[in-house]
Amino acid sequence: IQASDTTDDASHRIEREFVSQMNTSDESETRRRSIRSLLSGNARTVEFSGACVFLDAPRRNRLYLPGSFNPLHDGHKGMLVAASKHDPGKLGAAFELSVENADKGLLDEEEIARRIAQFIAADLPVVLTRAPLFTTKSDLFPESTFVVGYDTAIRLVQERYYGSEAEMVRQFATLVQRGCSFLVAGRFDATTGTYLSMKDMHVPDVLGAMGMFAGMEEAAFRNDISSTELRTRAKRGETS
């Protein structure tokens, strides 16, 4: 592991370290060491991108697609590609996997390694964090756009998840202050037989005035597959 440049940021200091051009023989151990650094709190982020691993080097002004990726599927990949076309001005795009969940706690090392192996096999960039909340993500990735599905977006604008309207507004104001926003991808609703998109969301006026939400059109992205459905198929031994 080599030390790279150190950058001063308005909100915090970013220590950059990286591992480059990993040999096949030590690639697995490098991944493990990087995961342990995150779990122990010695690194805030670990990015796997191509043949490189970046420790504690969160990058601003990008598109990030957060998720659990259990499993990673074509819907995730297509969503990030469509988001990149929708907002080509961002400085790159990556998936973001928080290994910490507000309700379920931390993923263990084995499970994290299994999930990131999907991205490495597909040669796709993924950033590991311990940031289950978007306010925490925004601190790591200021000026970035978070790509979310319709169901996630609906939960984001519901007061009951915050305890009060004042707390909801406070958290969104923090995101605005850090220059972050959301790009919403729609989904097909089998119950109603309709495609739900940003236009179907009820965004409280106080949040709508902040201008944080934009939507992708159905023509730009639509994939009706879901991680839950794939896990159900896997349990049944189905492959398609």
Q: Is 129 helix (H, G, I), strand (E, B) or coil?
A: strand
pTM: 0.85
| Residue 228: band (very low, low, confident or very high) from pLDDT cuts 50, 70, 90 | low
Tell me which long-range contacts 159-165 makes (C-beta under 8 A, separation of at least 24): 159/204, 165/204, 165/206
Helix axis angle, 109-122 to 24-40, nearest 10°: 130
Spatial separation of the C-alpha atoms in residues 51 and 62, rounded to whole Å: 20
For 215, the token pair is: 């939507």
**What pLDDT digit, counting tens, does each position of 27-83 carry?**
888 899 999 999 999 999 999 998 899 999 999 999 999 999 999 999 999 999 999
Res 223: pLDDT: 84
